[in-house]
Structure 1
Amino acid sequence: MKHLLSMEDLTSEDIFRLINQAEAIERGDVPAFLKQLFAANIFLEPSTRTKNSFIVAERRLGLEVLDVSGENSSLTKGESLYDTVKTLYSISANLCIVRHSQNGILREIADQVDVPIINAGDGTGQHPTQCLLDLYTIYQEFHTFQGLKVAIIGDIKHSRVARSNSEALRKLGAEVYYVSRPEWQDEGISENYVSIDEAVRLADVVMLLRIQRERHETAADENNYLYTYGLTKDREAIMNKNSIIMHPGPFNRGVEIDSEVVDSSKSRIFKQMTNGVTMRMAIITALLKEEL
């Protein structure tokens, strides 16, 4: 596989291969062949975790980093994303990591370019690297996906994380449940919606999502959202003994998750961020070694 655009592109075997590569990197087995190669980070939507995680991953692998944002590139002059990618490849970029607001745009250009592309989030479409770091975090805890109960809670309709994780988790044998306001449900992902209290009681993994305000046509009423759809301290108290809490970030304390729960013993939120660097190192290594 030349690009990583969607979790649809990966088999279960591919996913476990990346998990194994991440484990090897965590043990200190970092490949040296990537030195003096160039990675172009093209981030056309705001990002803290994903962008900086990629930068750290690239530098730990020895890659040189080219930083491209909408406001400091020729995209502001009308240049297309396709031509931007072609330009960067022409000046020796060996890899392009792209975040864009338009669903599916990377699929449109991928077959027309010679440089590998990693999707760092496209609109409400896919976020495969976030999904893979989430899978790595879950695997570290349970060492399997088969039969695990995972509850994805929040703004399902507008979440590329929900879409990517739903697909991958079911492929790997997990049972996935959903909690969402009726207007944020997406039956294209699943019809398996339950109440928040049922979800926290049954789940091994409670995966929260933020409200995607920037993708809503009208402002959502967030009054009492924490108590009707969020993870409060009381709900954390009724979770299973060995269950964990996850969130792709950015999280909003006191909105979808109680502030104290973010830092609780069940939380793996900051572990996910650490794993993001490791997994992105694994993905970059696999793509540039043409092992995907």
Structure 2
Amino acid sequence: MTTQLHADGRLRHFLTTEGLPRQLLLQILDTAESFAGVIDKSVKKVPLLRGRTVINLFFEASTRTRITFELAAKRLSADVLNVNVATTSVKGESLLDMLRNLEAMQADMFVVRHAESGAADYVARHVGPGVSVLNAGDGRHAHPTQAMLDAFTIRRHKGDFEPLIIAIVGDVMHSRVARSQIHALSALGTGEIRVIAPRTLLPRDIESLGVRVFHDMRLGLQEADVVMMLRLQRERMQGALLPSEPEYFRIYGLTEDKLAAAKPDAIVMHPGPINRGVEIDSRVAEGPRSVILEQVTNGIAVRMAVMSMTLGVYQEMPREPA
């Protein structure tokens, strides 16, 4: 695995939340908090990445992730190029040759999304010393900025992580989001992390990550402070791992009735896209405890934070007077 840190502990790349120290994750959250105020202003730009070039290199389709990375870079005043490899002619060119050509165009950062686990790490191992790589999702492996925007959203609503019970529900087996969430939440000192899923959608080694496993959804949601639903990723499944979608919804879909087992002030999250009537009922997704759209908004500030930190240009943004 490519080291993500410089010798002095600063971020060089952001490929995974696994193994990162708590203090660094808190620095990302604090930096994102300072950028959140910028997003609310009429002029939403700061000049920190002026003259820098960010290339979004997406080998896998995306909407929210690509757009929020693009917005984050533009709000930092960077020049942004979007390369959708699925629709771009590469004429038999290897990934390494493509990278070298893009780097020759004076790229400063690659944001990489790929269907294969380890792709972002491969890119990071082959870029020059002045180029940073951010993982926008690789196979089943990791989605670190999603995990950090989730943590940012939780902290804004709940404060310290130590007292919290956080339940992650659904297709953990195929979810890069779940893996990154578990590593980040553990490092941040979360009191209890639960995973709730059928046995066929849980990795065999999941308990080694320090989580509590539940197969009964109502039992797993008891007294939870945060309910994090996962997308059912049929495109990554091989074989019959599930009953019908209506049956899955009956057992593991989040409804107002099941949510009643959680704390009255529990928040509901989902990384999107939502499969309504499969993972979550529309009344819950649009209800008063849902923070799903806040997650999307918060993704801009978090990605601004990671971009500025990896390129080493972050400076303390002035906070609004209390």
* 153-162 vs 196-205, which moves further: 196-205
Which residue of structure 1 lines up, in the alignment, with residue 141 of structure 2?
125
Which amino acid in 2 is paired with 1:161?
V
Alignment correspondent of 2:202: 185
Partner of 1:95: 109
Question: Residue type of the partner of 1:186?
Answer: P
Task: State how far apart, in whole Å, the 2-side matches of 1:17 and 1:82 are.
Answer: 33
Please give the alpha-carbon distance, in whole angstroms, between the structure 1 residues aligned to 2:123 and 2:276. 38
- Give the aligned length: 290
Match among 32, 42, 60 for residue 22 of structure 1: 32
Give the structure 2 partner of residue 10 of structure 1: 20
Give the 3 Å change call, closer, same or farther, for CA 61–9 of structure 1 in structure 2.
Answer: farther
Task: Answer yes or no: is 1:116 the counterpart of 2:119.
Answer: no
TM-score (norm 2): 0.86
Q: In 2, are the aligned partners of 1:6 and 1:119 still within 8 Å (CA)?
A: yes
Q: What's the secondary structure of 1:67's corresponding residue? A: strand
For the Cα contact (< 8 Å) 1:39–1:94, is it kept in 2?
yes
Establish whether residue 46 from structure 1 lines up as the match of residue 75 from structure 2.
no
Aligned to 2:276: 253
2:205 partner letter: G
> 1:189, 1:61 → 2: CA distance?
38
| CA gap 1:11/1:80 in 2 versus in 1, 3 angstroms | farther
User: CA separation in 2, counterparts of 1:121 and 1:106?
Assistant: 8
Deviation at 1:290, TM superposition (A): 6.3
Q: Report what 2:9 is aligned to.
A: none
Question: Which residue of structure 1 lines up, in the alignment, with residue 232 of structure 2?
Answer: 211
Do 1:42 and 1:68's aligned partners in 2 also have CA atoms closer than 8 Å?
Answer: yes
- How does 1:150-229 map onto structure 2 within 5 Å? 150-174=166-190, 175-190=192-207, 192-194=212-214, 195-218=216-239, 220=242, 221-229=244-252
Q: Is the 8 A contact 2:231 2:279 kept in 1?
A: yes
Name the SS for the 2:268 alignment partner.
strand
Q: Is the 8 A contact 2:48 2:313 kept in 1?
A: no
Q: Give the Cα–Cα distance (whole angstroms) in 1 for the partners of residues 157 and 95 of structure 2.
A: 39
Aligned-residue CA RMSD in angstroms?
A: 1.7
Q: Is contact 2:46-2:75 (8 Å) kept?
A: no
Q: Which runs of 5+ in 1 are unaligned?
A: none
Q: Report Cα offsets for 1:239-270 as digits up to 9, x if no partner.
A: 21221101001111111100110011111100
2:97 alignment partner AA:
D
In structure 2, the CA distance between the partners of 1:255 and 1:282, relative to structure 1 (3 Å rule), is same
Corresponding residue for residue 265 of structure 2: 242
1:83 equivalent to 2:97? Answer: yes
What letter is aligned with 2:307? Answer: I
- Give the drift of 1:89: 1.3
TM-superposition CA deviations, 1:214-263 (whole Å, max 9, x none): 10123643132112011012112332122110100111111110011001
Q: Deviations over 1:122-145 (max 9, x none)?
A: 000000010010010011011111
How far apart in 2 are the matches of 1:172 and 1:67?
33
Asked whether the equivalents of residues 163 and 189 of structure 1 are also in contact (C-alpha less than 8 Å), the reply is no
2-11 or 126-135: which moved more? 2-11
Moved more, 104-113 or 273-282: 104-113
Secondary structure of the corresponding residue to residue 207 of structure 1: strand
SS in 2 for 1:66: strand
Q: Percent identity?
A: 39
- Whichever residue aligns with residue 212 of structure 1, its letter is Q
| Distance apart, 1:179 and its partner CA | 0.8
Larger mean CA deviation between 266-275 and 230-239 belongs to 230-239
For 2:21 and 2:100, how far apart are their aligned partners in 1? 29
Q: Give 1:9 shift.
A: 4.9
TM-score by length of 1: 0.94
Question: Separation in 2 of the partners of 1:83 and 1:12?
Answer: 37
